[in-house]
Amino acid sequence: MGFLGKRSRDSHKGDNGRVLVIGGSEDYVGAPALAGMAALRSGCDYVVVACPSNAAWSINSLYPDLITKKLEGNFINWDNVSDLIEMSEDFDVVLIGNGIGTEESTMDVVKELVERIPDFKVIDADGLKALKDAEFVNTVMTPHAGEFEIMADEDISGKSREYKARLLQAYTKKDTVILLKGNTDIIASDEKFAYNNTGNPGMTIAGTGDVLAGITAGFLAQSKDMFKSAVNAAYLNGKAGDYLLRQKGYGFTASDMLDVIPAVKKRIIRWR
């Protein structure tokens, strides 16, 4: 994973990537925590999770490595917008959507954030539902097939991977990348596409998508390259799942994946 570059011995906290995760709600606490920890496990220096205060306190007790910004309300709402936009200016990447829920006002807020934050963004999970009519740049989207069908208003079930790749390229705007999750992941920009075949059926468990989004955001914060970050995140996420399948069989969890990401990443670098 040489695209991440070599770290300077003189680097300080934050020099190797800063990620802001905007997500969580009254019902979904684990998703933004998994995403935030995955960003850290990818090698990113500094991660803050901005979420409703009740969820934030739970995240603090689960993962002391994560800093939380405690927002008013049980879900992200219009009262939070100005604070979130101001916060985003201090980060390399903003990851939006993990556990954010589908409240109508929250979807409007996500659209506002995506359009007003000019810097790198990764959009995942329910956050993707707000993108249909939004105008945005510098964005990596990480949908599964069902989410992409809503975004593109097209049924892709039963279609070949070549058809899907062409469709993704046609849908993708300039300065955006789509990572379509599936048995074979497809990563596309308006200029190129790639396939990823790592991973296994054990990764259908809840939370693996949050981990993938976090790795993508972490890689992007370190490299500033959207396409390479998405390709390498898909590969590493799948390799972590493959390692756990060999070690534990079916029944491993997304939290288990967090524990092995650094070692699997190190092994990949050694192989290459």
Token pair 């249909």 is at which residue? 132
From first CA to last CA, the distance across the chain in angstroms is 8
Amino acid at site 17: G
Query: Which range has the worst mean pLDDT, 77-91, 161-175, 246-260?
Result: 161-175
- Please return the burial class of 235, using the count of CB atoms within 10 Å of its CB with bins 0-12, 13-18 and 19+: buried
Q: How far is CA 238 from CA 1, 211, 262, in A?
A: 15, 11, 13
For the segment 185-195, the average pLDDT, to the nearest whole number, is 96
Residue 223 DSSP label: H
The answer, yes or no, to whether residue 234 has pLDDT greater than 90, is yes
Distance separating alpha carbons of residues 182 and 214, to the nearest angstrom: 17
Number of Cα atoms under 13 Å in the Cβ half of residue 249: 0
99: left (phi over 0), alpha (psi -120 to 50) or beta: left
Encoding tokens for residue 83? 């604070």
Average pLDDT over residues 48-76: 97
**Average pLDDT value for residue range 36-56:** 98
- Domain range 15-271, CATH class: alpha beta
- Say whether pLDDT at 147 is over 80: yes
